[in-house]
Amino acid sequence: MRRKFMKKVTASGLVMVLMMTMLTGCRFGFASDPDDPNEEEKEVPIDTSVDTFEYDTSLSGTNITLLNSKAEIQVALEAMGAEYEKKSGVHVEVMPVTDGDSPYTKVVSLYNSGTPPTASILDTTDVIALAEEKAADLTGEPWTEEAEGYLTEIDGKIYSFPLCIEGRGIIYNKAVIEEALGEEFHPESVTTQSAFTDILDRLVEAGIEKPVSVAKEDWSLGAHHLQYIYETYEGTSEGAQEIIEDIKAGKVDLDSYKRLSEFLDMFDILKKYNVAKGDPLGADYDEMAIDLADGKTAFWFNGNWAWPNLSEAGAEEADEYGFLPYFMNDDKSDFANEQIQASPSKQVMLDGQIASDKEQAAAKEFLNWIVYSEIGQQMLVKTCNIIPPFKNNPYEPSDPLSADIYKKVHEEKAFNASAIVPNDHWAVLGASMQKYLAGRSDRNELTEDIQKYWDEQE
Amino acid sequence: MKQTTIGGTKRKVTNALAMAGLIIIFIAYMFPFIMVVINSLKQKRDIIKSPFSWLFTIKGLSFDNFVKAFTQMDFLNAFKNSLIVTVSATVLVTLLAAMLAYYIVRHNNGISKLTFALMVASMIIPFQAIMIPLVSIYGGTLNVLNHRVTLIFMHTGFSMAMSVFMFHGFIKGNVPMALEEAAYIDGCTHSQTFFKIVLPLLKPIISTMVILNSLAFWNDFLLPSLVLTDKKLLTLPLSTYSFYGTYSADYGTIMAGLLLCVVPILILYIALQKQIIGGVVAGAVK
Amino acid sequence: MKSKNNGKDFCMFALPGMFCFFAVVIVPFVYGVYLTLTDWNGVAKVKNFIGLKNFSGVMKDGQFWTSLLLTFKYVIFVVLIVNVLAFAIAYLLTRGIKGQNFFRAGFFTPNLIGGIVLGYIWQFVFSRVFVSIGESTGWKLFEVSWLSDPTNAFIALVVVSVWQLSGYMILIYVAGFMGLSEDVMEAASIDGASGFVKLKSIIMPLMMSSITICLFLTLSRAFMVYDVNLSLTAGAPYGTTEMAAMHVYEKAFTSRQFGVGQAEAFILFIIVAVISGLQVYFTKKQEVEA
């Protein structure tokens, strides 16, 4: 009995010591490396000295909620909300959508519980599903003028605020390519599929056996890869809509649809040089970032959202990373071979059903504050690390991937097309793409799957 | 501790074999948990690059993840919330379920049978199927979400069926009617009989149910996420939300956060283990 | 306990527990069943009664039936392995072996790891540990990640579920063994009964109530598998490991067919209810009363 008691005391003592060390942040064993990429977490300074934004003082004291489905900017949004509260007196509560929940599920359950968020950051398809029933009409809001070309209209009305531009393509690590080839690499000089294959072959010769990383995740394959067949139809959202309607109506024969076979040509190239070729469905997302940063690979198909992963893998902001287009063919005049896809991705929708007039007004002011106030503009870009879709925002994102997208958008080297597909498109056809990637199905079967998917849609 | 050693070399051989098998299985069971412990001390890059490398071969090994998890989770507040919810719900469900199960075992009437059948059936309702109806009733109609009491009540209701089921089986098998009859002859009322005679006999199953239920309440994510949105009320699992990104997760911090969350449960388990053993002595009295 | 104040007993002993249960489980469930008969999509203000149209939607959803078939296969493996393993381990852990408390704490740990960490750790095991074993030994079995092949991914799901569920069932079996009086065990040994005979004729019948419970719990949990499915494979590779519960959730929220999803959940419930009802009925018959 006595010994047991002693044991208990020792055990609780140990737990206490553990807690104490944790609390004091005492280091254990080795001192950390100052060059360690994980060390930083620097605060980007925001200049709050100038603020010409006109606040509506009658809104002070209002509480609004913002549902955030972009988890990586949760902390940044909270900071932004706090700053806005300081100036306007409006309290912004940022609610996260968490692990395992989709934003749509969360919004639906919140509407059912009678406490919907005043504003929600959602995907475009979610906004379309909810707009008519729930959303506040934002047509004519001041910021709409600054976001020309990036607005989503539903029956001629605007129900959502485009929060950011995201772009995707083949990410390259310039230093790795230059070191392997022993010459300068000019990404803009690569404008055709065969030029791209040529570089790949030379990299293989230079010792980088499998220079490309292709993620196995269904959202990457089903949405980011496959949707090129709609988006490159003519490089616009309207065009994407048109081709989707035609496929659905059976007016387009997928077997002879040029963009599909071109897309598969490119996909086959990526497949051939895939670092995980032996087991493409065993590839690990986080490892791909490390491979690219370390130079085991030179290319990774992904978007500017991959920066946090690369940064954790050891990439520095001064390093040269950028995007190549998803080459569709050997035609130099084809826009798809020189432009990358970039379009608004997350939308803010305001509740028009349950929120009071005051709450709606406060939420609208918050959106305008993001677009027009000096502080909001800075925080959107610097704190949230977002590529702003607003013309009047003078700030540029600092990480190389976003900076490259930003540059391409402004040089008209990007096409703004987003295909609005049913919400399960990525999941259903992502599975078909996985099958194709793993070599368990051929082009015919994949084409049939795509056709079947669209046939089943009403 | 009780030792059941019965002689014979054959027995010793089988014992040794069983022991060896047990140790192998044991390691397999422990492995993931050990991985969590080791990796909670590493930085993300090291976790991905060399998840299995032993502690001291990695540089920059530190308690940083714990510090980060501790502060970002607002640990003390979340701990307090989790504690209030788990303790209240566990006490409530254990007591109510024991009483209800006792009633059902001793009253073989229509209501008992129907309730028991419904409970057994209800355990296989997929939670996803009642998630939306649940929030529309309690949020949309009654408007009582965002209170701890609501969460405690719901936890109690959801785990009632399984608890009753477990108590029912135990009472039927291990509580002899004779003892109760003797108590009635001595002039005990029903509640006196229950609390003084029956409840002490239930110790092993109570300990088991306390562990199972508190474990479920402590770690539950989905139900609290539907009921609580107010930051001040968040429980421990809810408070780890900020470690998850859309395209990447902060694994080191997640694992540190996980360990911080489960330490209290481990302590509870080790404490209650003695109760389970103590229960054997009580059971032997019969 | 048969007496006049039956009503008072009922109010005191049964009512509070029943109230919680009915208010939280039964009422929402009934409401949920009603929703399957409407065209409500989860957000609309109006709900139109459409009869059994959602159920005919279920009939047309081939993927649901495929996932259900896979779930059956999975349940059979999981229920058998979990119960045999947990029973054996619990038996060994209550025989007074050295360090048994330590062992028990170890077997308890699977209960502590849930959610994304569970999936992450096990993905490591299958895609890295096994693959690196494969690389160094040249064994074909471990050449590629188990998670990229439909059959192996299924096995992986079973392995992880067994690991997780048996951790839970060990607790219940241990409590069951602890509930057996030492007299019974000793008497059995003195009678010269040993090994298998003892197990079959003395221990098993006395453990029947624990077995009923564990069988039932594994059965229902295996049918409802969602967390492990989502965090380990998420249906991959190419949708071949999507189990029923996950499909139902995807249908309701990813495919946005709320009514059909709700109806599928209801059908799943009926199937599981029938199967586990039968199981409880048959195992209960075997139980010995004290």
DSSP state of A72: G
% of chain B at pLDDT higher than 70: 86
For residue A126, what is the enclosing H or E element? Answer: helix A124-134
| pLDDT value, residue C288 | 56
Tokens of C201: 């004729």
DSSP-assigned beta bridge partners for residue A154: A157
pLDDT-derived band at C2 (thresholds 50, 70, 90) equals very low
| Three-point CA angle C153, C157, C162, nearest 5° | 145
**pLDDT above 70 for C192:** no
Under a CB-based contact definition with an 8 Å cutoff, are residues A376 and A370 in contact?
yes
C148/A281 touch (CB, cutoff 8 Å), yes or no: yes
Residues C273 and B121: beta-carbon distance below 8 Å: yes
The amino acid sitting at C78 is V
What are the angstrom distances between the C-alpha of B212 and each of B86, B87, B121, B162, B209?
Answer: 11, 13, 20, 10, 5
CB B48 within 8 A of CB A290: yes
CB contact, 8 Å: A63 with chain B? no
Helix (H), strand (E) at residue A184: none
DSSP B192-211: HIIIIIIHHHTHHHHHHHHH
SS3 state at A253: coil
Q: Considering only the beta carbons, identify the residue of A99, A102, A431 that sits closest to C253.
A: A102
Q: Considering chain C, what is the average pLDDT of its residues? A: 82
- Check residue A36 and give its pLDDT: 41
Smallest Cα–Cα separation from B134: which of B219, B225, B214, B217? B225
Give the pLDDT score at C181. Answer: 63
Domain ranges in chain A are: 57-164+345-390, 167-342+417-456
Q: What percent of chain B is modeled with pLDDT above 90?
A: 16
Q: For residue B40, give the H/E element and its range.
A: none
Cβ <8 Å between C148 and A129: no
What are phi and psi for residue B285, nearest 5 degrees?
A: -65, -30
Tell me if chain B has a CB within 8 Å of the CB of C270.
Answer: no
pLDDT tens column, C76-103:
999 999 999 999 888 888 877 777 778 8
End-to-end CA distance of chain C: 17
Inter-chain touch A282–C44, beta carbons under 8 Å: no
Write out the two tokens for A408: 């391409």
Q: Compute the average pLDDT of residues C145-152.
A: 86
Q: Is the pLDDT of residue A443 over 90?
A: yes
Q: Is the pLDDT of residue B2 over 60?
A: no
Look at A102 and A58; give whichever has higher pLDDT: A58
* C141 pLDDT higher than 90: no
Name chain A contacts of C144, Cβ cutoff 8 Å.
278-279, 282
The residues facing A157 across adjacent strands are A154
- A78: its two tokens: 């909270």
Instruction: Show which of residues 386-425 on chain A sit within 8 Å of chain B, judged by CB atoms.
Output: none
Euclidean distance between CA atoms A19 and A128, whole angstroms = 49
pLDDT category at B96 given cuts 50, 70, 90 is very high
> What is the arithmetic mean of pLDDT over B222-238?
84
Are the CB atoms for B171 and B108 separated by under 8 Å?
A: no
Q: Inspect the interface and report whether the beta carbons of B140 and A28 lie closer than 8 Å.
A: no
- Judge: B173–C289 Cβ closer than 8 Å, yes or no: yes
The nearest alpha carbon in chain B to C205 belongs to B173
Number of CB atoms found within 10 A of residue C31's CB:
16
Digit-coded pLDDT (tens) for A66-89: 998 887 788 889 999 999 999 999
Instruction: Read off the pLDDT band of A450 (50, 70, 90).
Output: very high
Q: What is the pLDDT of residue C185?
A: 64
Q: pLDDT tens for residues B162-220?
A: 899 888 888 887 788 888 888 888 888 888 888 888 888 888 788 888 888 988 898 88
What distance in Å separates residue A147's CA from the closest CA in chain C? Answer: 29
Q: How many percent of chain A have pLDDT more than 70?
A: 90
Is C269 or C205 the better-scoring residue by pLDDT? C269
Contact yes or no for A218/A433 (Cβ under 8 A) = yes
**What gap in Å lies between CA A340 and CA A303, rounded to an integer?**
10
Q: How big is chain C, counted in residues?
A: 290
**CATH T-level topology, domain B73-239:** MetI-like fold (1.10.3720)
Checking if the pLDDT of A18 tops 90, the result is no
Mean predicted lDDT score pLDDT of chain B: 81
Looking at chain A, which subunits does it touch, using at least 3 CB pairs closer than 8 Å as the criterion? Answer: B, C
- Say whether pLDDT at C284 is over 80: no
Domain ranges of chain B: 73-239
C238, A112: Cβ pair inside 8 Å?
no
Can you tell me which residue has the tokens 């988890």? Answer: A71
Could you tell me which of C14, C123, A389 has the C-alpha nearest to residue B113?
A: C14
Non-local (6+) Cβ contacts of A316 within 8 A are A37
Nearest C-alpha in B relative to C23: B157
Contact residues on chain B for C213, CB-CB shorter than 8 A: 165-166, 169
Pick from B59, B145, B241: CB nearest A33: B59
Strand runs labelled E in A49-108: 63-68, 91-96
* Average of per-residue pLDDT across A440-448: 93
State the pLDDT at residue A103.
Answer: 83
| Cα radius of gyration (chain A) | 25
Chain B nearest C-alpha distance from C175 (Å): 6
Higher per-residue confidence, A129 vs B84: B84
pLDDT at C285 over 80: no
Span C38-44, average pLDDT: 80
Residues belonging to chain B with any Cβ–Cβ distance to chain A shorter than 8 Å: 41, 43-45, 48-49, 56, 59-64, 66-67, 70, 131-132, 135-136, 138-140, 143, 145-146, 221-222, 225-226, 229, 231, 238, 241-242, 244-248, 263, 267
Q: Which two tokens stand for residue B83?
A: 């504690």
d(CA B90, CA B101): 16
Among the ranges given (A145-154, B68-77, B265-274, C143-152), the one the predictor scored with the smallest mean pLDDT: B265-274
> Which of C112, C160, C269, C279 is best to mutate for the B interface (most B CBs within 10 A)?
C112
To the nearest whole Å, the CA of A311 is away from the closest chain B CA by 10
Residues C51 and C55: their CA atoms lie apart, in Å, by 9
Provide the angle, in degrees to the nearest 10, between the axes of the packed helices C27-35 and C258-286: 130
Report yes or no: C216 and C278 within 8 Å, Cβ to Cβ.
Answer: no
Q: How confident is the model at residue B60 (pLDDT cuts 50, 70, 90)?
A: low
Domain A57-164+345-390 adopts which CATH fold?
D-Maltodextrin-Binding Protein; domain 2 (3.40.190)
The closest alpha carbon to A332, from A185, A172, A169, A189, belongs to A189
Size of interface A-C (CB pairs under 8 A): 75
Architecture of the A167-342+417-456 domain: 3-Layer(aba) Sandwich (3.40)
d(CA A185, CA B186): 96
CA distance B101 to chain A (A): 33
In the structure, what pLDDT confidence band is assigned to residue A324 with cuts at 50, 70 and 90? very high
pLDDT at B8 (0 to 100): 62
What pLDDT digit, counting tens, does each position of A138-188 carry?
998 999 989 888 888 888 899 999 999 999 999 999 999 999 999 999 999
- Residue B47 above 90 pLDDT? no
Q: How much is the pLDDT for A125? A: 85
pLDDT tier at B276, thresholds 50, 70, 90:
low
Q: Which residue has the higher pLDDT, B278 or C231?
A: C231
pLDDT value, residue C225 = 84
Q: What are phi and psi of C210, to 5 degrees?
A: -65, -40
Beta strands in A174-234 (DSSP E): 212-213
User: Token match 């659905």: residue?
Assistant: A248
d(CA C83, CA C170) in angstroms, rounded, equals 9
* Domains of chain C in sequence order: 56-286 (1.10.3720.10)
Is the pLDDT reported for residue A301 higher than 70? yes
Q: Do C262 and C32 form a contact (C-beta atoms < 8 A)?
A: yes
Contacts of C84 (CB under 8 A, 6+ apart): none
* pLDDT for C199 beyond 80: no
Residues of chain A neighbouring C42 (CB-CB closer than 8 A): 108, 112
B5 vs C contacts (CB less than 8 Å): 96
* Residue A213 bridge partners (DSSP): A300
Return the structure tokens found at A215: 């993620």
- Burial group, residue B278, by CB count within 10 angstroms (0-12, 13-18, 19+): middle
What percentage of chain A carries pLDDT values higher than 90? 53
- Would the pLDDT of A415 be above 70? yes
CB atoms near residue A13 (< 10 Å) = 10
Question: How many other CB atoms are found less than 10 A from the CB of residue A40?
Answer: 9
Residues from chain A contacting residue C32 (CB–CB below 8 Å) = none
Residues A22/B70, Cβ–Cβ less than 8 Å? yes
Contact C122, C206 (CB under 8 A): no
The pLDDT of residue A41 is above 60: no
Task: Compute how many other C-beta atoms are within 10 angstroms of the C-beta atom of residue B181.
Answer: 12
Query: Which partners does chain C have (≥3 C-beta pairs < 8 Å)?
Result: A, B
CA distances, B81 to each of A98, B68, B75, B138, C134 (Å): 19, 20, 10, 21, 47
Q: C135 to each of A275, A296, C129, C130, C132, how far by Cα in Å?
A: 16, 19, 10, 9, 5
Per-residue pLDDT tens over the stretch C113-139 = 776 678 778 887 887 777 777 777 878
- CB of A26 within 8 Å of any CB in chain B? yes
Chain A CB contacts of C147 below 8 Å: 281-282
Query: Which residues 6+ apart lie within 8 Å of A50 measured at CB?
Result: A374
Of A115, C121, B244, whose CA–CA distance to A107 is shortest?
A115
- pLDDT score for A38: 42
**Contact residues on chain B for A30, CB-CB shorter than 8 A:** 59-61
- Band the pLDDT of C189: cuts 50, 70, 90: low
pLDDT for C287 equals 66
Q: What is the pLDDT of residue C281?
A: 81
Residues in chain A within 8 Å Cβ distance of C131: 279, 282
Please tell me whether the interface predicted TM-score (ipTM) of this complex is above 0.95: no
| Residue among A21, A38, A65 minimizing CB distance to B43 | A38
DSSP strand pairing (A63-68 vs A91-96) = parallel
DSSP A350-409: EB-SSS-HHHHHHHHHHHHHHHHSHHHHHIIIIIS--B---TT------SHHHHHHHHHH
Structure tokens at B25: 């299985």
The answer to whether residue C230 scores a pLDDT higher than 90 is: no
More confident residue, A58 or C209: A58
* Nearest-by-CA chain A residue for C255: A424
Helical pair C258-286 and C208-223, crossing angle rounded to 10 deg: 170
Q: Per the CB < 8 Å rule, is C235 touching A431?
A: yes
Interface with chain A: mutation pick from C46, C228, C238, C253, highest number of A CBs within 10 Å: C238
- What integer pLDDT is reported at residue A283 of this predicted model? 83
Share in percent of chain A as helix, strand, coil (round to 5): 50, 15, 40
Chain C residues 43-82 with CB within 8 Å of chain B:
none
Q: Does A99 lie at the interface with B, CB-CB under 8 angstroms?
A: yes
pLDDT band at B277 (very low <50, low <70, confident <90, very high): low
Average pLDDT over residues A14-37: 40
List the one residue out of A107, A136, A91, A93 whose CA is nearest residue A349.
A136
Instruction: Please compute the mean of the pLDDT values over residues B254-263 and round it to a whole number.
Output: 86
Question: What whole-number distance in Å separates Cα of residue C197 and Cα of residue A206?
Answer: 70
DSSP state of C201: I
> Long-range CB contacts (< 8 A, 24+ apart) of C41-45?
C41/C256, C41/C258, C41/C259, C42/A108, C42/A112, C42/B132, C42/C252, C42/C258, C43/A108, C43/A111, C43/A129, C43/A130, C43/A133, C43/A134, C44/A133, C45/A133
